[in-house]
Amino acid sequence: MIQPGAPSVAEEKDSAHEALIHFLYQAPIGLAEASLSGETVLMNPMAAQLLLPLAPTADLGNLFQVLAPLAPDLPALVATFPGEAGPILESRRIPTAAPVQEDGPPGVLSLGLWKLGPDRLMAVVTDISLEVQREKEGLTRSLYDASRTDALTRMPNRVAAIDRIDSSLVREVPEGGGEMAVLYLNCDRFRQLSESWGRAAGDEVLAMMADRIRSALRSHDRVDRIGSEESVAARVGGDEFVVVLNGLKRGEDVHVVARRLLDLLSAPYGIGSQQLVCSISMGVVLQAQAMGDAETVMQDAAIATAEAKRQGGSRYVIFQPEMAKRAARRGEVENGLRVALETDQLSVFYQPYVQLDALADEEGSRCVGVEALVRWNHPTQGMIPPMEFIPVAEEAGLIGRIGTVVLETACRDFVQWKAELGPLAPAHLSVNLSRAELSAPDFAARVHDILEQTGMSPQDLQFEVTESLAAQDCAIQARLRELKGLGVTLALDDFGTGYSSLSSLHQLPVDTVKIDRSFVSRADTNLHHRVLIEATVLVARSLGMGIVAEGIETREQAGVVRELGCERGQGYLFSRPLSMLQTTEWLRAGDTASLPILPSIPAAS
């Protein structure tokens, strides 16, 4: 029984429908009801507002026709939808030709389409222009951050470091301190570490280095506002880092920071069960030295780092303008060397060494061997000294190519002397080797090929290596043994200046010891040097090694080293380095008349 005054069921339904219609018309999203063919049955004001710009004729009578230019597949989606109800399309983004809101971002609508029954559709349209704009801005920020962040260490990268240096250069230094300094850090022998332990271990070391650099900046009280954006550490290359210090209380305080970084980064790195050591070299540019833009400052810091490496590494060097001049000269020499290798500007000169006993007796061959020496005759600068271009060639990775040129040329010249001069030809050819050549795994095979191509007998070829190179590295010694396996002989050059000693001489795979000129030059005036030469001769002879005295410039020096037991000598007293033609004439002379008669050993001083 219906209570008096109570609404009827029909009235309740009408009221609910009115409430629904009211809600649909007030909803902040666009709602449109349509038939399965797209004919519009009901559309709230928000839907009309959003869809009207898409209808050129302002006709919203058919939803499919309004959306046809942007969503032409809607009729097909409806026709193929398998169920009687459910979502046909969810949140499809539809860009509009113009902003949805005046002065707003580019318009983007989100369209959803539901099947409500056997013959009804409901479209939901919302304006997501601002949301899409925020997404794009967020993506842009992410990409920007990624473009300025090193993936391995999560440090800022070179781009970010350059920006920080630029901003530091233009900012005014506050009274009472706050100067800037740029520190450029480069690992010593990192390539060797990676080759020995693998790239993954190398990456771990770099990541740990980054953590130590960050901790050094956070903990050091010589930098104001620690943790702010004033100071930053960045990874700018494979094993290269840059620290931009701002807020130094005094310019001199950079020394404290530099020493702290050296100590922290030189400590062992625990990688698995191994404790790996990788020291660093560092170049420092102070604000007073910072000239030019950020790229120039960073380059100057890198130049100072290279200077630290040349001084032995594991240290820091403050940049000086003269370093830039030397670096520019090295760059000029490197470029010129590359041209020289392509245009045959390099030539081989030869310095003879002689049998000292034969000279004393005035009989026998005057030349027992020649040492091949590279020379560079620049088309405009003339002869460039080897001490100027050989270090550059080693740094630039060109020494291997130069060594090949020297070896091929010297072997051909030697074979020619043998054919043309017979007994007047030198008995041996000596060629110097560099670390880069001996580090090449295929070096012995390349030597074998050159011997085959030139017709050079291996027994006539002698390679010279410095004492420090032969004694330091087991891999180098293994390569030397490979060369001996070819039949060539080995000489230890500059003996007395390196790391080995007389007691360890037997451990080196050499046949001849060349006593350094620094001992020979004072052999006739200094008893101490004379005793050292004599001891070297005795040990070398006991091991069956030959002896050559280098740098003989006077008859007195020659007489002393001969009396002390040196069999052969080399130096300006006998001949300066000669071209191939000059050497040929020198050899053709054949007799000993032009050579000095050596005196007896002078009284001890």
Domain ranges of the chain: 9-131, 149-319, 330-589
Q: How far apart are CA 594 and CA 573, in angstroms?
A: 11
Topology of domain 9-131 in CATH is Beta-Lactamase (3.30.450)
| CATH hierarchy code of domain 330-589 | 3.20.20.450
CB atoms closer than 10 angstroms to residue 259:
13
Q: For residue 144, what pLDDT is reported?
A: 67
104-121 core/surface letters (b: 16 or more CB in 10 A; e: else): ebebbbbbbbebeeeeeb
The CATH number fitting domain 149-319, selected from 3.40.30.10, 1.10.3720.10, 3.20.10.10, 3.30.70.270: 3.30.70.270
Task: Strands of 220-279 (E only): list them.
Answer: 232-235, 240-248, 269-271, 274-276
Can you spell out the DSSP letters for 443-479?
Answer: HHHHHHHHHHHHT--GGGEEEEEEHHHHHH-HHHHHH
Q: For residue 333, what pLDDT is reported?
A: 92
Number of Cα atoms under 13 Å in the Cβ half of residue 47: 25
Q: How far apart are CA 362 and CA 432, in angstroms?
A: 30
Q: For residue 494, what pLDDT is reported?
A: 81
In this structure, are residues 431 and 438 in contact, taking their beta carbons and an 8 Å threshold?
Answer: no
Task: Strands of 24-85 (E only): list them.
Answer: 30-34, 40-43
Q: Which SS3 state, helix, strand or coil, does residue 400 take?
A: helix
What's the average pLDDT block by block, 10 residues per block, for the chain (605 residues)?
56 56 71 91 88 85 90 91 88 77 74 89 89 78 74 89 86 66 92 85 91 79 43 90 86 86 92 87 89 90 92 92 89 93 94 80 67 94 90 90 96 96 93 89 94 96 84 76 94 73 76 90 86 89 92 92 92 93 89 46 37
Q: For residue 605, what pLDDT is reported?
A: 33
pLDDT for 19-36, tens place per residue?
656 666 667 788 999 999
Q: For residue 129, what pLDDT is reported?
A: 85
CA–CA distances in Å: residue 578 to residues 267, 345, 375: 51, 16, 10
Helix residue spans in 267-355 (DSSP H): 294-310, 321-342
In this structure, are residues 223 and 294 in contact, taking their beta carbons and an 8 Å threshold?
Answer: no
Amino acid of residue 328: A
Q: For residue 601, what pLDDT is reported?
A: 40
CB atoms closer than 10 angstroms to residue 541:
14
In this structure, are residues 592 and 363 in contact, taking their beta carbons and an 8 Å threshold?
Answer: yes
86 CB-contact burial (10 Å; exposed 0-12 / middle 13-18 / buried 19+): exposed
Amino acid of residue 25: Y
Q: How far apart are CA 529 and CA 521, in angstroms?
A: 9
Q: For residue 102, what pLDDT is reported?
A: 63
CA–CA distances in Å: residue 588 to residues 282, 422, 574: 55, 10, 15
In this structure, are residues 380 and 426 in contact, taking their beta carbons and an 8 Å threshold?
Answer: no
pLDDT for 287-300, tens place per residue?
888 888 899 999 99
Q: For residue 435, what pLDDT is reported?
A: 85
In this structure, are residues 128 and 108 in contact, taking their beta carbons and an 8 Å threshold?
Answer: yes
pLDDT for 58-112, tens place per residue?
889 999 998 988 889 999 999 999 888 899 888 888 888 667 666 666 788 889 9
Which tokens go with 250?
A: 């005094």
pTM, entire model:
0.64
pLDDT for 353-367, tens place per residue?
999 876 655 444 478
Q: For residue 147, what pLDDT is reported?
A: 77
